[in-house]
Amino acid sequence: MRINCPCCGERSLEEFTYLGDARKTRPAGDAAADVWVDYVYLRENPGGRHSEFWYHGSGCQSWLVVERDMTTHAIFGVKFARDAAIAAVVHTS
């Protein structure tokens, strides 16, 4: 698998580490307990497109959000997680 890092270009899997589901946003400190349980423990795990955090640890050390198909491994897009995070904040506020 090769991930096209928006900073470094296309690189092989071994440069990256995987974290998981990127659709989640960290709840506010005062959110209800079950919201936190959901955030920490429950996962989307779909058969198709999955949005996920990857860390380019052997490259630019950026956290990325990769849109990838869990069944075919096809990658649809890669962006900086920082931008995704900012976009999410803008979107919800």
State the residues that interact with Zn ion by CB under 5 A.
5, 7-8, 56, 59-60
Footprint on residues 13-32 left by other proteins (CB under 8 A) = 13-15, 17-21, 26-29, 31
Gap between the Cα atoms of 71 and 82, Å rounded: 27
Under rule CB under 8 A, residue 34 binds other proteins = yes
Q: Which does 78 bind (CB under 5 to 8 A by kind): other proteins, Zn ion, none?
A: none
Gap between the Cα atoms of 24 and 10, Å rounded: 26
Q: Which residues contact 2 (CB under 8 A, 6 or more apart)?
A: 10, 11, 12, 13
Gap between the Cα atoms of 41 and 36, Å rounded: 8
Binding residues for other proteins, rule: CB under 8 A, are: 1-3, 7-15, 17-21, 26-29, 31, 33-34, 36-47, 50, 52-55, 57-63, 68, 70-75, 80-82, 85-86
